[in-house]
Amino acid sequence: MGFFSKLFGGDSSTQVSKISHPNQLKQGDVVNFCDSFALPELIRKQSYQVAKVNTYQFEHQVINEFVLQGGHHQQVFMSIESDDEEWLNLSIKLKRSQVGQLFDLEQFAEIFEEESQPELALQVEEPELNNWLAPVYFRQNYAQRGYFYDQDFRPNKPSLEEDDGSEPFDYFSLSNADESHSVEIEVWQDGDTDVLLSIHRPLTDIVDMYPGASRDQ
């Protein structure tokens, strides 16, 4: 309860209203996750504060990214997607050294070859990444153009105009056979590349959501 109580000043007598859906979350709000053993230890039974809300825009989709910060130094990136039903995408960024440890770099390079049909196999098990990884991944998206905005536009959407503050990137993704785990890759215009491990989970993995102390009522 230490991290959670800090967010509300430790006053347990204060009545705090709950948030009914994760797409209502704003900066400063609090998210509590369930105790499912299918969740990584980083998330299971943990409380997080929404440190920031960013926006990703693709041709037919706008996605809000909730940057979650808990009582440690590892950020978790959360988004909500829908396709017949809604689910949570929970992601962490990998360091460059971790990519080389987890995957064969020759296989990894094939992800960026349009004519190939790459399979990315896990080389080693990393205990600290338990439940973040799947044994093998298959490519789902190739060089899908997206735009990143360092801001929250809700309830509106960003416009694709010049000098709109967006950062363009190319998006690649691979998923395992049941699409419960993914490797997501963002290649930015300056050549920087972000590699993320993602899990796709039901909304019920969130057990509570509370507005932060600074939220406008």
- Residue 22 sits at φ, ψ, to 5 deg, of -60, -20
Interval 200-210 mean pLDDT: 97
Who's near 201: CB < 8 A, 6+ residues apart?
Answer: 38, 39, 87, 88, 90
Residue 165 — pLDDT band, cuts 50, 70, 90?
confident
Each residue of 63-114: pLDDT tens digit?
999 999 998 889 999 999 988 899 999 999 999 999 999 999 999 999 999 9
Each residue of 102-158: pLDDT tens digit?
999 999 999 999 999 999 999 999 999 999 999 999 999 999 999 999 999 999 989
Q: Tell me how many domains the chain contains.
A: 1
Q: Does the pLDDT value for residue 11 go beyond 90?
A: no
> Would you say 204 and 34 are in contact if contact means Cβ atoms under 8 Å apart?
yes
Q: Is residue 44 part of a domain?
A: yes
Each residue of 179-204: pLDDT tens digit?
999 999 999 999 999 999 999 999 99
Strands 47-58, 181-188: parallel, antiparallel or unpaired by DSSP? unpaired
Q: Is residue 43 part of a domain?
A: yes
Question: What domain range includes position 35?
Answer: 2-8+28-210
Each residue of 29-39: pLDDT tens digit?
999 999 999 99
Q: Is residue 156 part of a domain?
A: yes
Q: Is residue 217 part of a domain?
A: no
Whole-angstrom Cα distance, residue 83 to residue 162? 31
Q: Is residue 22 part of a domain?
A: no
Q: Give residue 7's pLDDT.
A: 55
Q: Is residue 216 part of a domain?
A: no
Q: Is residue 23 part of a domain?
A: no
Residue 13 — pLDDT band, cuts 50, 70, 90?
very low
Predicted TM-score (pTM) of the model is: 0.90
